[in-house]
A and B are shown apart, each in its own frame.
Chain A
Amino acid sequence: MTKVYVVGIGQTPVREHWDRSARDLAVSSVLEAIEQAGVEKADAIYVGNALSGEVAGQEHLAALVADFAGMAGTEAVRIEAAGASGAAAVRMGCLAVASGLQEVVIVTGVEKMSDLTGPAVEEALVTATDEEYEAIHGLSLVALNALLMRRYIYEHHVERSDFAHFSINAHKNASNNEYAMFRRPITVDAFVNARMIADPISLLDSAPVADGAASLVLCSEKVVGERANSAVEIVASAAATDAMALHDRGNPLFLQGVYESAQRAYAQAGIGPEDIDLFELHDAFTIMGALSLEGCGFASEGEGVRLGIDGEIALEGRIPISTMGGLKGRGHPVGATGVYQVVELVQQLRGEAGANQVDGRLGMAQSIGGSGATVVTHILKSP
């Protein structure tokens, strides 16, 4: 197996891009990444996308992206794993390069959500759950996370306001990221008084769905050559699944998929959670932030929310999370999010994170599909 390096990154701002389609966004990020990488062609393009068929009637997205990026002829395939689509595409890129079958690949994550509004957004997102036994009962993806949050509050004797610190941290970090959607801080008061979407989850617990695309150029040891001294290496790429539906999990409050995925990544890198310097986790909802920290071994069960309260998740804390805003502050272009996370880790590990720079050598990114059925984890190492 060859090592896998990231030699180029590209991203569009996460916004409601009324004037731009999925193909436009994807192509912009691809062009930026290949220019930075200094490559002219790739062996394949792996496109992470969750909902282009549902939103725009456009399936078969990867060939379209390759075509409009001026790369018709290049192998291209779309990877779908709900909110983990982007991370799953990163993993496909890693498998391709690590196997030695491909030397240079492009990974793109793209999502165009703003063509849907209100109930249609919830209807699209809920396709990531068990249609026959969850969605048919009107349980949105938000509602499923609300069921987890209510039970967590009940079992662990915490308050709803204790979760505010995840959102406050995310918004604070997003305010220094020009690509982020929400560049303004929020307060505990604002959090407590925010409008409910599915009680106890309010607008300020939830990441905004939005439009965006991010891209990476990955290459092998052979291609990276002397640039290995300045390139970020992907030292672990792992994925796991759990029961699709919340009701089919032994203990819904422990995300087994998060645990398995993280353990596999730690084993590949030969490290443990104590070695991770920063963590881009899947904070689609504040409860997912707490449960991810627990599942990955940064806190014991019921203690994840304490890391927020105690400031351990801040840039200068023990385990900084959402360092460029996370899903909550940067925004959550569903199938693109996993690639944004890796792009942001690369910025951090190259020392290009500006005011949000974390002093660290190993960064971890983790994406969750649905309510926890797919979990993909990557660990990156600074040059």
Chain B
Amino acid sequence: MSLARHWRLQNQRYRLLGVQCEDCGARLFPRRQVCPRCKSQNLQRYQFGGEGKVYSHTVVYDAPAGYEGFVPYIGALVELEEGPLIAAQLTDVDIDDVQIGMPVEMVTRRLRQYGEDGLIVYGYKFRPKLKEAP
């Protein structure tokens, strides 16, 4: 497994760094070179805040190779506050407690490991938004 393949995505995986279209205002994750909405190439780095709500969710029982150890786990589409949808796992929550519309926030967790002593890939997952202390 190539280390560079994961290293070059660190700004996306650890920081949710995307882009904003300077012409139409679209906020995009992941980053692109061409705005899909207006075709502009004038896109600047944009930092997403990592908060959103659950758009849809699933519980995976039959996992692809490399993820069998995590089953059952929760996959989701999260609608970020800034607009776009993002695909990720939900964590720190019971399967039965997940609902569409539930507020969530980004955390950094282990995504997978390549083999027993292999490369461990970290990246974003989402957990139920913690309530602020009174």
Binding site for B on A (CB under 8 A): 118-120, 122-123, 125-126, 132-140, 142-144, 146-148, 150-151, 154, 195-201, 243, 245-248, 252
Contact = CB atoms under 8 A, between A and B. Distances in A.
Given A138-B75, A139-B60, A147-B56, A119 B88 contact: no
Contact of B63 (A119, A200, A245): A119
Given A119-B66, A119-B67, A248-B85, 20 more contacts: A119-B64, A119-B65, A119-B68, A120-B65, A123-B64, A126-B64, A135-B64, A137-B87, A138-B70, A142-B60, A146-B58, A154-B56, A196-B61, A198-B58, A198-B62, A200-B58, A245-B87, A247-B77, A247-B85, A248-B84
Interface string B31-44: 00000100000000
Interface size class of B (residues with CB under 8 A): 35 or more
B62 A122 contact: yes
Contacts of A201: 58
B59 interface: yes
A168 to B, nearest CB: 23
A150 B85 CA distance: 15
Contacts of A132: 9, 12, 30
Contacts of B68: 119
Contact of A134 (B57, B62, B87): B87
> Could you tell me the dominant secondary structure of chain A's interface residues?
helix
B112 A143 contact: no
A137 B70 CA distance: 11
A147 to B, nearest CB: 4
A289 B59 CA distance: 21
A138 B64 CA distance: 7
Contacts, number: 113
A184 to B, nearest CB: 22
Interface string B78-108: 0000001111110000000000100000000
Given A132-B30, A147-B58, A151-B56, A138 B63 contact: yes
Give me the 3 closest cross-chain CB pairs, A-B, nearest first: A146-B58, A247-B85, A122-B64
A122 B63 contact: yes
Contacts of A126: 64
B128 interface: no
A151 B75 CA distance: 13
B64 A147 contact: no
A151 B55 contact: yes
20 contacts: A119-B63, A132-B9, A133-B30, A136-B111, A138-B70, A139-B60, A140-B60, A142-B60, A146-B75, A147-B77, A148-B56, A150-B100, A195-B61, A196-B59, A197-B61, A198-B75, A201-B58, A243-B36, A245-B87, A248-B84
B83 to A, nearest CB: 11
Given A136-B121, A138-B70, A147-B77, A199 B86 contact: no
A247 B56 contact: no
B73 interface: yes
B76 interface: yes
A116 to B, nearest CB: 9
Most chain-B CB neighbours within 10 Å: which of A140, A151, A246? A140
A247 to B, nearest CB: 4
A287 to B, nearest CB: 11
B87 A252 contact: no
Contacts of B100: 150-151, 154
